[in-house]
């Protein structure tokens, strides 16, 4: 993972061997214009923040994205739909998107759920998916991966999400992942468990044909780092980070 700042905003750059024309970043909560409890770089227009502040933050983000003309924003529903960003307008209901259009970015918003980036090795297609436990269990990552011809040629990056140590869940979550290995869950008090979204995503993607050594990331916790990340479970009323990927315009 690397970082860069622009106009006081702090961005995370994925550490993965994507082709040179593929660009991606994750925003932090630093450097925008939103007021508490959304301070300061909130990109979500559905959380109660000032719409003017969100629009200004989104404009600031776009200005920081080299070779990107437009960001396609989705209305996320914890579902499994993956859309072509060139064929929908902003606020289309979906939890994943893909793009083979130069300069048109896929974007998903999170504040504990797992953001997952995809690209093929020749740099002709990218995708981004929003994977909470329900979306992950129901196949949002599989639907996104299906947009690529060959999973063996796909690179994956797992962005900032709530870590296993902080993600306490009920037995219904374990039941939703009947296929998962036991190391994806740790027993808590009573019937409670701690779920590892990162490991669940890795296992599912590997079972679908993505080689283990082509899955990167998975080492940042939104809950534990209050200075850098929004966390819904930690704060409830809070903002959203954006995870974006695009094919760079020359």
The whole-number pLDDT of residue 91 equals: 96
pLDDT at 10: 87
Q: State how far the alpha carbon of 211 is from the alpha carbons of 114, 123, 207, in Å.
A: 20, 18, 9
Where in the chain are the domains?
2-164+215-247
* Parallel/antiparallel/unpaired status of strands 74-75 and 22-27: unpaired
> Looking at the DSSP assignment, which residues form a beta bridge with residue 92?
74
What pLDDT is stored for residue 8 in this prediction? Answer: 61
Within 10 A of 192 (CB to CB), how many other CB atoms are there?
13
- Which CATH fold would you assign to the domain 2-164+215-247? 3.60.140
Q: What is the pTM of this model?
A: 0.96
Q: How many residues does the chain have?
A: 250
Residues 6+ apart with CB under 8 A from 176: 133, 134, 137
pLDDT tens digits, the chain, 250 residues: what are they?
A: 566 666 566 899 999 999 999 999 999 999 999 999 999 999 999 999 999 999 999 999 999 999 999 999 999 999 999 999 999 999 999 999 999 999 999 999 999 999 999 999 999 999 999 999 999 999 999 999 999 999 999 999 999 999 999 999 999 999 999 999 999 999 999 999 999 999 999 999 999 999 999 999 999 999 999 999 999 999 999 999 999 999 999 8
Using the structure block, give the residue that is written with the tokens 């859309």.
83
Quote the radius of gyration of the chain (alpha carbons, Å): 17
Rounded-to-10 torsion of CA 15, 44, 33, 98: 40
Are the CB atoms for 214 and 149 separated by under 8 Å? no
């Amino acid at each position: 993972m690397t970082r860069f700042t622009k106009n006081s905003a702090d961005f995370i750059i994925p550490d993965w061997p994507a082709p040179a024309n593929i660009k991606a970043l994750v925003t932090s909560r630093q450097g925008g214009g939103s007021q508490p409890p959304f301070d300061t770089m909130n990109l979500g227009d559905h959380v109660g923040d000032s719409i003017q502040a969100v629009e200004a933050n989104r404009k600031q983000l776009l200005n920081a994205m080299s070779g990107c003309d437009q960001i396609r924003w989705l209305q996320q529903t914890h579902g499994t739909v993956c859309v072509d960003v060139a064929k929908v307008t902003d606020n289309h209901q979906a939890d994943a998107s893909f793009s083979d259009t130069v300069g048109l970015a896929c974007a998903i918003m999170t504040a504990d759920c797992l953001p997952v980036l995809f690209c093929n090795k020749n740099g002709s297609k990218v995708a981004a998916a929003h994977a909470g436990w329900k979306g992950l269990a129901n196949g949002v990552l599989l639907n996104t991966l299906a947009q690529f011809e060959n999973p063996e040629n796909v690179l994956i990056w797992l962005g900032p999400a709530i870590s296993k140590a902080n993600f306490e869940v009920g037995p219904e979550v374990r039941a939703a992942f009947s296929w998962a290995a036991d190391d994806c869950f740790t027993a808590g008090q009573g019937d409670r468990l701690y779920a590892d979204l990162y490991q669940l995503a890795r296992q599912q993607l590997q079972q679908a044909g993505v080689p283990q050594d082509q899955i990167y990331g998975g080492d940042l916790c939104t809950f534990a780092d209050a200075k850098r990340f929004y966390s819904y479970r930690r704060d409830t009323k809070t903002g959203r980070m954006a995870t974006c990927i695009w094919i760079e315009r020359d």
